[in-house]
Homo-oligomer: A and B are copies of this chain.
Amino acid sequence: MVRTDGRQPAEMRPVTLVTPCTKHAEGSCRIEVGDTVVLCTASVTDRVPPFLRDSGRGWVTAEYGMLPRSTSTRTDREAAKGKQSGRTLEIQRLIGRALRSVVDLTQIGDRTITIDCDVLQADGGTRTASITGGFVALAQALQWLKTERNAFPRIPLNDPVAAISVGVVQNQLLLDLNYAEDSDAMVDMNVVMTGRGCFVEVQGTAEAFPFTRQRLDDMLDLSAKAIQDLIAKQREALGGLV
């Protein structure tokens, strides 16, 4: 099978990380994965959610949104509809969990770091791009806390974290699905992994065709390798910060 954009089955799209990319945020990263473009910012505020009050722990959370015309046909604006869709809530919960998994929250103090991931242009893989780009913005915000606020002697990150999608299309394993491939996939999997090669999140879903254990193993193998490439790019973009 030839992929629509000419890639090999195990080939990722070109990835660009531009950082910083906005003047106001404590950390920011514009990530491009093929035609998918996500603007990730990290904002530090000096308070924690109610359930952490007086706990001595800080918080890292994420919000996700798509510009109305980031998609091939216009999607109604969630602010105008008056609520965020289940998909949006599910994605931002995933991004938040993924990023929290590598931070030592006890070092953050009474602060919340909010990672906003806004999709400027969508072509599949926006949630994994948000995690990969969001990590870069997060690392910068932690660096800002270290240098501008003396919040800690070294930034409290245990490991980098990045994410990739993998799927089965027309019975073939493909890495990093674009939108057309994703719409066509029999199985769709998102893998979030750390620099040391441990899993943070594994979400595999059969779209109509349940999959075997062998297929699952192959998808995990393929994604593990790709994530190390992404982490190398994160390290480069962050100039040795992590």
Contacts and interface: CB of A to CB of B under 8 A. Distances in A.
A128 interface: no
Interface string A70-92: 11111001111111111111101
Q: Which 4 A-B residue pairings sit nearest by Cβ, starting from the closest?
A: A198-B210, A86-B89, A78-B79, A41-B69
A67 B116 contact: yes
A79 B69 contact: no
Given A69-B116, A82-B82, A101 B208 contact: yes
A80 B101 contact: no
Contacts of A206: 101, 198-201
| Interface size class of chain A, counting residues whose CB lies under 8 Å from the partner chain | 35 or more
A35 B237 CA distance: 23
21 contacts: A24-B122, A41-B67, A43-B69, A43-B73, A43-B74, A65-B77, A65-B79, A67-B118, A68-B114, A79-B79, A80-B84, A86-B93, A87-B93, A89-B90, A100-B208, A196-B210, A197-B212, A197-B213, A198-B210, A200-B205, A202-B216
A114 to B, nearest CB: 6
- Counted per complex, copies of this chain come to 6
Nearest to A104: B208
A106 to B, nearest CB: 11
A143 B80 CA distance: 28
A81 to B, nearest CB: 8
Contacts of A15: none
A60 B73 CA distance: 17
A22 interface: yes
A195 to B, nearest CB: 10
Contact of A68 (B63, B67, B101, B121): B63
A201 B205 contact: yes
